[in-house]
């Protein structure tokens, strides 16, 4: 055969290994770091990056209008996740850093700190050991799109950007009653969050500026002017939280948002296996999945029929078993499945397999061959419903339409008289197939422990909705380190 006409077979281990070890995300992260750092020796730089074990540490920015609770929530999140808490005020209070001393000198002259100095301060802080090993929560910065882009240019980008939002009238009311503990920096409110400790109550003072309604209105106008541009800067991982609710509820929603896993940009190749007794609707669900998600529907029984019809070597080896109504050996069926799943359409678009595996040994052989599924669905149907579905159905030999005595009876007596029942739908044949499935279903469940069970004794489209929801769902990541 001409080499240019031979079917392209791609080893299945490539995609499985890449997805299991998140190679796509690894390459993306390395390229991003290279473009940001621009090292003189890229290979050495990448090797050092691969040795790092801190890629999953939190990197969070909490932003919001004045009096939205950024400081309080930032401290609570930092304490919960055991990360460093960074604010512009904390950066300037560093007595050791010459950059902080330079910033304080600029403030003493009643001048604004240049953006370049803010970026240098943050860059120096994030290089310290606690930020590298435990992560960081930054509150109140960046304040506009220009600052956000400046941070990104030096390689500083959060994994989560949380915005605490509330109506302006609520924020103005909060600011009017705002009080600060000068020793700890904790923020309280005369109405909503008054301290229970009398010593703390005596120390409370009004904020140095921004307490009047006019000042607060001016700060809100400035915030609204810049927040849309800032959101565009971090639009892929922005989460807006309603801050007009109790502090505990706001904190709970923020933690939930931080625990969510961002959808990966890596190409996801569906590898689906449908398991269930005869008559559970595997063919219908496979067809619905193939139609909506453009995956390839693969049936082991259909592959056997095609191999015999094509008179291939494997088909000739299978033919005697089929003629004698004997089970086809696993190695022959697995060879047909391997040949089909290794073709270019299955490798690039994904596949949904039904009819195989039926035993634990077959499932192990499928995984050993490199075709490990990433979704396994059990379509559960009671035996009584299976009997009702199969033994009461009949086929019109003229039109090929399948009817059912209860749910879809023939439209006329003429059609009813010529309808025939397939031998495989006899009571004995159905009972035999059910017994074969029930004999191995427990060991299959033990092997595919992450398999998802679905009640398939309902409308096919309702079943498909459940399959679809479990197919596209994302698993959250756990940030609770307690």
The per-residue pLDDT for 476 is 40
| % of the chain exceeding 70 in pLDDT | 90
What are 354-404's pLDDT values in tens digits?
A: 999 999 999 999 988 888 888 899 999 998 888 888 888 888 888 888 888
The per-residue pLDDT for 12 is 67
Q: Are 363 and 357 spatial neighbours (Cβ–Cβ below 8 Å)? A: yes
The per-residue pLDDT for 242 is 93
**Burial class of 370 by CB neighbour count within 10 A (0 to 12, 13 to 18, 19+):** middle
72, containing H or E segment: helix 70-81
Closest listed residue to residue 275, CA positions, set 125, 470, 128, 456 = 456
The residue ranges of DSSP E strands in 36-104, in sequence order, are 59-63, 84-86
Q: Which two tokens stand for residue 243?
A: 């801050």
Q: Give the ranges where 295-373 is alpha helix by DSSP (H).
A: 300-310, 313-323, 330-341, 344-349, 360-368
**142-151, 188-197, 444-453: segment of lowest average pLDDT:** 188-197
Pairing of strands 452-455, 84-86: unpaired
Q: Is the peptide bond before 142 cis (omega within 30 degrees of 0)?
A: yes
The residues spanned by each domain of the chain are 56-259, 271-301+343-472
**231-240, 308-317, 464-473: segment of lowest average pLDDT:** 464-473
The per-residue pLDDT for 23 is 81
Is the pLDDT reported for residue 33 higher than 80? no
Q: Which two tokens stand for residue 433?
A: 């197939």
Pairing of strands 160-165, 59-63: parallel
Q: Same fold for the domain at 56-259 and the one at 271-301+343-472?
A: yes
Q: Which two tokens stand for residue 178?
A: 């705002």
CATH 1.10.510.10 fits 271-301+343-472, yes or no: no
Q: Which two tokens stand for residue 384?
A: 């009584």
**Secondary structure (DSSP) of 314-331:** HHHHHHHHHHTT-PPPHH
With H, G, I as helix, E, B as strand and everything else as coil, classify residue 27. Answer: helix
What are 436-473's pLDDT values in tens digits?
A: 888 888 898 889 988 889 999 898 899 999 888 888 76
CATH 2.60.40.1260 fits 56-259, yes or no: no
186 — pLDDT class (breaks 50, 70, 90)? confident
């Amino acid at each position: 055969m001409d080499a240019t006409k031979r079917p392209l077979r791609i080893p299945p281990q490539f995609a499985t290994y890449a997805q299991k070890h998140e190679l796509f995300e690894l390459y993306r992260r390395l390229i991003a770091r290279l473009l940001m750092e621009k090292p003189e020796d890229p290979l050495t730089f990448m090797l050092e990056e691969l040795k790092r074990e801190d890629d999953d540490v939190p990197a969070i920015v909490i932003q919001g209008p004045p009096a939205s609770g950024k400081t309080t929530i930032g401290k609570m999140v930092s304490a919960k996740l055991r990360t460093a808490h960074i604010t512009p005020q904390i950066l300037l209070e560093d007595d050791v850093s010459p950059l902080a001393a330079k910033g304080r000198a600029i403030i003493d002259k009643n001048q604004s700190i240049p953006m370049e100095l803010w970026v240098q301060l943050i860059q120096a802080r994030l290089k310290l050991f606690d930020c590298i090993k435990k992560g960081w929560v930054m509150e109140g910065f960046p304040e506009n799109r220009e600052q956000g882009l400046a941070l990104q240019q030096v390689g500083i980008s959060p994994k989560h950007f949380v915005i605490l939002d509330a109506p302006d009238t609520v924020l103005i009311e909060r600011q009017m009653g705002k009080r600060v503990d000068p020793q700890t920096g904790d923020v309280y409110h005369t109405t909503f969050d008054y301290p229970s400790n009398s010593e703390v109550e005596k120390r409370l003072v009004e904020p140095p500026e921004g307490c009047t309604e006019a000042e607060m209105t001016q700060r809100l106008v400035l915030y609204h002017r810049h927040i849309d541009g800032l959101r565009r800067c971090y639009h892929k991982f922005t989460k807006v939280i309603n801050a007009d609710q109790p502090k505990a509820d706001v904190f709970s929603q923020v933690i939930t948002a931080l625990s969510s896993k961002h959808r990966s940009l890596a190409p996801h190749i569906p590898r689906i296996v449908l398991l269930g007794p005869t008559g559970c609707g595997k063919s219908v669900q496979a067809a619905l999945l193939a139609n909506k998600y453009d995956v390839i529907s693969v049936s082991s029984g259909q592959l056997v029929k095609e191999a015999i019809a094509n008179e291939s070597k494997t088909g000739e080896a299978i033919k005697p078993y089929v003629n004698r109504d004997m089970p086809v050996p696993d190695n022959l069926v697995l060879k047909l499945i391997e040949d089909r799943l290794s073709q270019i359409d299955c490798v690039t678009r994904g596949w949904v397999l039904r009819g195989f595996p039926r035993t634990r040994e077959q499932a192990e052989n499928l995984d050993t061959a490199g075709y490990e599924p990433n979704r396994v669905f059990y379509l559960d149907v009671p035996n009584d419903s299976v009997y009702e579905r199969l033994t009461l159905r009949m086929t019109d030999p003229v039109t090929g339409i399948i009817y059912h005595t209860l749910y879809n009876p023939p439209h006329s007596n003429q059609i009813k008289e010529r309808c025939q029942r397939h031998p495989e739908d006899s009571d004995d044949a159905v009972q035999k197939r059910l017994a074969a499935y029930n004999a191995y279903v427990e060991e299959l469940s033990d092997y595919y422990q992450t398999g998802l069970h679905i009640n398939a004794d309902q409308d096919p489209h309702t079943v498909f909705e459940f399959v679809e929801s479990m197919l596209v769902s994302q698993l959250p990541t756990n940030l609770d380190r307690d």
